[in-house]
Amino acid sequence: MNPPFTKKPDIIIVDDHLIFRQGLKAIINFEEVGTVIGEASNGEELMQFLSAMKPDLVLMDIDMPQMDGFEATKKALELFPDLKIIAFTVFSEEAYSYKMIELGAKGFLLKSGGINELENAIELVMQGELYFSTQPELKVNADLDKDQKGVSGNEIDKAKSTRKMLFYPWMTNKENRVKI
């Protein structure tokens, strides 16, 4: 296990809604969860800021104009592999979380969560762990055994294996355990 991350992280918020960025920045700075060193309204702006700002963490929206969170995550981590990214989105479908984790994000947080969940996510990700929203809307327990038209048995087995690999350590952590 990685040693605890003691320094408050330098954070860039990437979201296309200005009022959301401003509100999140105010909360993060007021609660001393970290220091917001920059804001970007899309992935292209993030790419322009990354070299100069050198953040520890990016809170990344998924649905944005010009360059979405998927592409921005991929490009940012190609250039800065040690950068930590938490997807911060309204999309609760597990396909979004799988895609972001596949691209290298270390966490997936729903915007419907509160400040305590945000603090927990940042702390765990900065310690080198993965974080997945505890909000019930995140459909991490979809039944992959149901007849799925166009999906082969191998794809279902692979998805189950990936889900177990990603979620088992999280689900067995006492603080994150949810009733299924």
Residue 136, sorted as left (phi over 0), alpha (psi -120 to 50) or beta, turns out to be: alpha
Question: pLDDT digit string (tens) for 52-95?
Answer: 889 999 999 988 999 998 999 999 999 999 999 999 878 667 77
**How many domains does the chain fold into?**
1
| Domain contains 37 | yes
pTM recorded for the entire structure: 0.72
| Domain contains 171 | no
Give the C-alpha distances (Å, rounded to integers) separating 30 from 8, 23, 69, 92, 122: 13, 10, 26, 27, 15
What CATH number should be reported for the domain holding residue 92? 3.40.50.2300
Question: pLDDT digit string (tens) for 87-126?
Answer: 987 866 777 778 888 899 999 888 888 889 999 999 999 9
Check pLDDT > 50 for residue 32.
Answer: yes
Handedness of CA 112, 117, 119, 121 (dihedral sign): negative
| Domain contains 93 | yes
| Domain contains 81 | yes
Q: For residue 18, what are the domain limits?
A: 10-140
Name the band, by pLDDT with cuts 50, 70 and 90, for residue 164.
very low
| Domain contains 162 | no
| Ranges 19-28, 115-124, 165-174: which has the least confidence | 165-174
